Amino acid sequence: MATIRLGDTAPDFTADSSVGTINLYKYLGDSWGILFSHPADFTPVCTTELGTAAKFKGEFDKRNVKMLALSVDGAASHVEWIKDINEVQNTTVNFPILADENRKVADLYDMIHPNADSTLTVRSVFIIAPDKTVKLMLTYPASTGRNFYELLRVVDSLQLTANHKVATPANWENGQDVVVSPSIPTQEAKEIFTKGVEEVKPYLRMTPDPTA
């Protein structure tokens, strides 16, 4: 198992899922992707996470992000559990859950952290760009459900900064002012960012969101 780092090519795989066999690259096509693992089916926090993820699918769709969940349970278990999720979360799970019983994908993406749990996947998140490079990795323990607003927020930042020479500051939300990339001299920034550039410090220049 090679360590995956930001900027690396996301390893491709073919695996069983709640909706049949899935090949990662074919599934993603030219879209962005979010691959996220959870520890186990029929567990409470995971039930809230997967239900919440289903409710957020429309927002991920708007951003051209395909969702793909994973645990080391089997496909039949996923299908049964999805019925519970739909019932108790009042939703419809509308994305595949990989059935990684042989831990092929979990090992490929280092989703099992033996000192946390020797058999179950932790709550890993990989955001994959259309060129298949890994743009973000997060790891949460089993005891902490993820914040899907944060996942959308980081997608917004990744997509904005992929296309404009900006970075997003702490707690940034879509539409708020952004930071001019440190590599751009202020004079050049003023030519690029026609909505204005405020030089707070020579190294800290703010500009309105160029897409807002």
Footprint on this chain of ligand BEZ (rule: CB under 6 A): 39-40, 43-46, 142-143
Nearer to ligand BEZ, 28 or 50 (CB): 50
CA–CA separation, 126 and 133 (whole Å)? 10
From the list 46, 47, 38, the residue with the least C-alpha distance to 84 is: 47
Smaller CB distance to ligand BEZ: residue 119 or 186? Answer: 119
Which tokens go with 181?
Answer: 């990339």
The number of beta carbons lying within 10 Å of the beta carbon of residue 181 is 14
In whole angstroms, give the CA distance from residue 96 to residue 79.
10
Give the span between the Cα atoms of 112 and 121, in whole angstroms: 5
Catalytic residue (one of 24, 46, 122, 189): 46
Measure the CA–CA gap between 95 and 60, rounded to whole angstroms. Answer: 11
**123: β partners:** 140
Minimum Å distance from CB 20 to ligand BEZ? Answer: 25
Task: Indicate the residue among 43 and 52 with the shorter CB distance to ligand BEZ.
Answer: 43
Is 58 noted as a catalytic residue in this protein? no
Rounded to the nearest 5°, which phi and psi values hold at 18? -60, -15
Nearest distance from C-beta of residue 136 to ligand BEZ, angstroms: 22
CB of 46 to ligand BEZ, least distance (A): 4
Based on CB atoms, which residue is closest to ligand BEZ, 43 or 174?
A: 43
CB of 44 to ligand BEZ, least distance (A): 4
Residues classed as catalytic: 46
